[in-house]
């Protein structure tokens, strides 16, 4: 073994190879969460994570990610290259051990900077096991090495295939469609969002992302380069690009050195929403945890102390609560924890107690410095906090009214709701329908056993721009709350949603298939995203897909959801069929609406899920905010919910 390798605390036999590639193929969800769209994309994240770790160790600065012409993925870095020397115990190369033995990845380089966790960090061998074909290429010591695998089994020992002056590792894999039966097609938007996120979370690294499946008019691949010198500070500017800041700088700090590396950035804007994103080892901790707790306590303690000392609170008749310090706040917290304990329903809640105090202290110090150096901004923030406290009192009253109505049960249901007769919520669905007339048709067309209809009047309130008490005072929104049977707010956490009494497990948004319709869907989704996020996270929210065309000839009729289907239907009928374009739900009769959009045997529902909370937030703030140009550009380029459903 060479001296260099020893210095890096690496030796081929420190790799503890465990068995179990077969187990991965038998129980893939245990390793990657699921075998749907999400699990598929996790394969890419796993491979990229290894290169990120190499970069965080200071050994590489560039990572290339590509979706290849054939739909496979290639990830390449300019790091040291995975070692190819002989692993004594296994009698094969270290590379082969890493690629074909479960559990080798994590133990590989324990003393160096490697902190992957959560769903990731399962090891690249898992990706290999779940791929029909994989190829590793290592550029190291002036030579190029290669090994290929099929469903996790090596096809030949590592071989040298040439010479090079490059260094690094290249991994190409093709997911196994007998495992990923739903789809093996990678989404550009999903991967690109994750690469952007990673570049903000790991400043200094350059990540290039290329989609080689298609070329544009100029004959070029779709491609993006992500690089952030300022990290979270820039991430905040990206996230809040469509909101109006009320202070002059992004407040940020980076404690790289400590026992627990902590990075934080925050800004206050004119909105009323709290937007905190927290990460542990580059993984979005949706459910928060101890780092978030540390952040909140540091923020509250420091701002409260400053406000008390300033005398600005003297005339205030209310107590200020923790929430008030976070209205209009956008913040990102990123910590690196050596042995993270993940808890909670989705295993995205950090449990390590030792994280609370370092984060709280770091945040406190950062804020104290900023407030001291920027007294004007300090005043603006405290004023905003006071306003928030006042608004909270108003909102509390409005919310109590909603609550009282909800608690009354049957009698309190909104008059406009046509309820179903089935009692078991798991079998019940409610259609939120745009407009009273379409609501009427839906009411006639539905199966009243299990389908309820709630018509909504025109455009519902844009919650992105409304103060909270306005939201709770709004009649349409109150109707949604009461119809669904959910309540918000406990003494401890005024924003917690109570889904226990949810009356329908499917909440289906049904709007016209036109620009206005998608605007209304987006308004409703924005409301759910800001006020009932759990409803989306638990998979209860769906979007109905009404057809665009009715193609008719003689006694034959077919519906079409896009132009291709329309033309095909026309052809099937021998051409020159009568084509009716539905301009809205209102043009369909009850039977047609049932057949196409409501009958569970034929309809298509799109389940709304959130891949990346940060990305969804950015999209909603852009769609619903003040800036018109980016919104127009987005709507022209995408279906309105392109980035938020699967």
Number of chain residues interacting with ligand 0RA (CB under 6 A):
16
79 interacts with ligand 0RA by CB under 6 A: yes
Question: Between 108 and 306, whose beta carbon lies closer to ligand 0RA?
Answer: 108
Closest CA relative to residue 359, chosen from 266, 250, 287: 266
Question: Between 108 and 226, whose beta carbon lies closer to ligand 0RA?
Answer: 108
Least separation in angstroms between CB 571 and ligand 0RA = 50
> Which one is catalytic: 96, 176, 327, 434?
434
DSSP 8-state symbol, 269? B
Instruction: Considering only the stretches 78-86, 242-250, 561-569, 633-641, report the one whose residues sit in contact with ligand 0RA under the rule CB under 6 A.
Output: 78-86
For 76, 225, 615, 643, the CA distances from 193, given in Å and listed in that order, are: 18, 12, 7, 9
For residue 2, the tally of other CB atoms under 10 A from its CB is 9
Q: What distance in Å separates the CA atoms of residue 203 and residue 458, rounded to the nearest whole number?
A: 45
Q: Which residues pair with 74 in a beta bridge?
A: 66, 172
10 interacts with ligand 0RA by CB under 6 A: yes
97 interacts with ligand 0RA by CB under 6 A: no
Instruction: Considering only the stretches 79-87, 337-345, 355-363, 527-535, report the one whose residues sit in contact with ligand 0RA under the rule CB under 6 A.
Output: 79-87
Q: Which residues pair with 265 in a beta bridge?
A: 252, 332
Rg from Cα positions in the chain: 27
For 24, 274, 305, the CA distances from 313, given in Å and listed in that order, are: 59, 22, 11
DSSP 8-state symbol, 245? B
176 interacts with ligand 0RA by CB under 6 A: no
Instruction: Considering only the stretches 76-84, 351-359, 532-540, 584-592, report the one whose residues sit in contact with ligand 0RA under the rule CB under 6 A.
Output: 76-84
Least separation in angstroms between CB 95 and ligand 0RA = 9
DSSP secondary structure string, 593-609?
Answer: HIIIII-TTT--EEEB-
Q: What distance in Å separates the CA atoms of residue 377 and residue 595, rounded to the nearest whole number?
A: 58
In the annotation, is 512 catalytic? Answer: yes
Instruction: Considering only the stretches 48-56, 148-156, 377-385, 491-499, report the one whose residues sit in contact with ligand 0RA under the rule CB under 6 A.
Output: 48-56
Length of the chain equals 646
Least separation in angstroms between CB 89 and ligand 0RA = 17
- Any known ligand binding at 434? yes
Choose which of 5, 312, 461, 545 interacts with ligand 0RA (CB under 6 A). Answer: 5
With b for 16 or more beta-carbon neighbours within 10 A and e for fewer, the 226-262 pattern comes to bebebbbbbbbbebbebbebbbeebbbbbbeeeebbb
Choose which of 83, 298, 358, 435 interacts with ligand 0RA (CB under 6 A). Answer: 83
With b for 16 or more beta-carbon neighbours within 10 A and e for fewer, the 105-133 pattern comes to bbebbeeeebbbbbbbbbbbbbbbbbbbb
Q: What distance in Å separates the CA atoms of residue 261 and residue 338, rounded to the nearest whole number?
A: 10
Choose which of 17, 31, 41, 54 interacts with ligand 0RA (CB under 6 A). Answer: 54
Least separation in angstroms between CB 4 and ligand 0RA = 5
Choose which of 56, 65, 66, 82 interacts with ligand 0RA (CB under 6 A). Answer: 82
> Which one is catalytic: 354, 372, 373, 516?
516
For 549, 550, 594, the CA distances from 563, given in Å and listed in that order, are: 8, 11, 22
Least separation in angstroms between CB 311 and ligand 0RA = 56
In the annotation, is 514 catalytic? Answer: yes
50 interacts with ligand 0RA by CB under 6 A: yes
Chain-centre distance for alpha carbon 576: 45
Instruction: Considering only the stretches 50-58, 151-159, 388-396, 445-453, report the one whose residues sit in contact with ligand 0RA under the rule CB under 6 A.
Output: 50-58
- Any known ligand binding at 85? no
Least separation in angstroms between CB 88 and ligand 0RA = 16
Choose which of 169, 202, 441, 618 interacts with ligand 0RA (CB under 6 A). Answer: 169
In the annotation, is 516 catalytic? Answer: yes
- Any known ligand binding at 197? no
77 interacts with ligand 0RA by CB under 6 A: yes
197 interacts with ligand 0RA by CB under 6 A: no
80 interacts with ligand 0RA by CB under 6 A: yes
Q: What distance in Å separates the CA atoms of residue 324 and residue 382, rounded to the nearest whole number?
A: 10
DSSP 8-state symbol, 503? S
DSSP 8-state symbol, 186? P
SS3 (DSSP) at 541: strand
9 interacts with ligand 0RA by CB under 6 A: no
Least separation in angstroms between CB 5 and ligand 0RA = 5
Let me know: does 336 contact 281? Beta carbons within 8 Å: yes
Q: Which residues fall in the annotated binding site?
A: 434, 512, 514
Catalytic center residues: 434, 512, 514, 516
Binding site for ligand 0RA (CB under 6 A): 4-5, 8, 10, 50-51, 54, 77, 79-83, 108-109, 169
């Amino acid at each position: 073994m060479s001296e260099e390798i020893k210095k890096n605390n690496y030796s081929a036999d420190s790799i503890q190879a465990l068995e179990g590639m077969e187990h991965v193929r038998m129980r893939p969800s245990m390793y990657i969460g699921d075998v749907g769209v999400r699990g598929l994309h996790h394969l890419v994240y796993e491979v990229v994570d290894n290169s990120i770790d190499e970069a965080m160790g200071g050994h590489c600065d560039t990572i290339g990610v590509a979706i290849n012409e054939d739909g496979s993925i290639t990830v390449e870095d300019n790091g040291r290259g995975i070692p190819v020397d002989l692993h004594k115990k296994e009698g094969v190369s270290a590379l082969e051990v890493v690629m074909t033995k479960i559990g080798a990845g994590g133990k590989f380089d324990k003393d160096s900077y490697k902190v992957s966790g959560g769903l990731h960090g399962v090891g690249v061998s898992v990706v290999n096991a779940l791929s029909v074909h994989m190829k590793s290429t290592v550029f190291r010591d002036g030579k190029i090495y290669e090994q290929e695998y099929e469903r996790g089994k090596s096809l030949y020992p590592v071989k040298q295939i040439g010479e090079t002056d490059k260094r690094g590792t290249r991994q190409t894999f093709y997911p196994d469609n007998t495992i990923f039966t739903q789809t093996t097609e990678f989404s550009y938007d999903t991967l690109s969002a994750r690469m952007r996120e990673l570049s903000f979370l790991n400043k200094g690294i350059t990540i290039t992302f290329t989609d080689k499946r298609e070329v544009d008019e100029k004959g070029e691949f779709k491609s993006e380069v992500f690089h952030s010198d300022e990290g979270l500070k820039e991430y905040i500017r990206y996230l809040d690009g469509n909101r109006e800041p009320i202070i002059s700088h992004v407040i940020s700090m980076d404690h790289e050195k400590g026992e627990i590396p902590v990075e934080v950035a925050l800004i206050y804007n004119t909105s009323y929403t709290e937007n905190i994103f927290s990460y542990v080892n580059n993984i979005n901790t949706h459910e928060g945890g101890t780092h978030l707790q540390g952040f909140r306590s540091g923020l509250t303690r420091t701002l409260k102390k400053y406000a008390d000392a300033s005398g600005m609170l003297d005339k205030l008749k209310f107590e200020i609560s923790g929430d008030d310090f976070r209205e209009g706040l956008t913040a990102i917290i990123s910590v690196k924890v050596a042995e993270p304990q993940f808890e909670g329903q989705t295993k995205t809640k950090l449990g390590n107690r030792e994280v609370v105090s370092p984060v709280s202290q770091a945040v406190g110090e950062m804020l104290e410095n900023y407030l001291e150096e920027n007294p004007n901004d300090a005043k603006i923030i405290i004023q905003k906090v006071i306003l928030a406290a006042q608004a909270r009192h108003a909102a509390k009253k409005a919310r109590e009214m909603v609550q009282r109505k909800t608690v009354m049960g049957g009698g309190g249901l909104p008059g406009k709701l046509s309820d179903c007769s089935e009692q078991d919520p798991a079998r019940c669905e409610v259609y939120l329908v745009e407009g009273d007339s379409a609501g009427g048709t839906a009411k006639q067309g539905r199966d009243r056993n299990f389908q309820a209809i709630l018509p909504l009047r025109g455009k519902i309130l844009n919650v992105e721009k409304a103060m909270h008490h306005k939201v709770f005072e709004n009649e349409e929104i109150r109707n949604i709350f009461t119809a669904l049977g959910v309540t918000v707010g406990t003494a401890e956490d005024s924003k917690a949603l109570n889904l226990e009494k949810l009356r329908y497990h499917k909440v289906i948004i049904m709007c016209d298939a036109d620009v206005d319709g998608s605007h209304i869907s987006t308004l409703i989704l924005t409301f759910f995203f800001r006020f009932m996020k759990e409803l989306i996270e638990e998979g209860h929210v769906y979007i109905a897909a009404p057809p665009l065309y009715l193609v008719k000839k003689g006694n034959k009729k077919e519906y079409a959801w896009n132009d291709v289907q329309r033309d095909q239907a026309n052809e099937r009928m021998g051409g020159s069929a009568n084509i009716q374009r539905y301009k809205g739900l209102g043009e369909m009769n009850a039977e047609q609406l049932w057949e196409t959009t409501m009958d569970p045997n034929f309809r298509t529902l799109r389940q709304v899920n959130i891949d990346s909370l940060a990305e969804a937030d950015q999209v909603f703030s852009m769609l619903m905010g003040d800036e018109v140009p980016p919104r127009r550009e987005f709507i022209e380029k995408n279906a309105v919910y392109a980035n938020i459903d699967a």
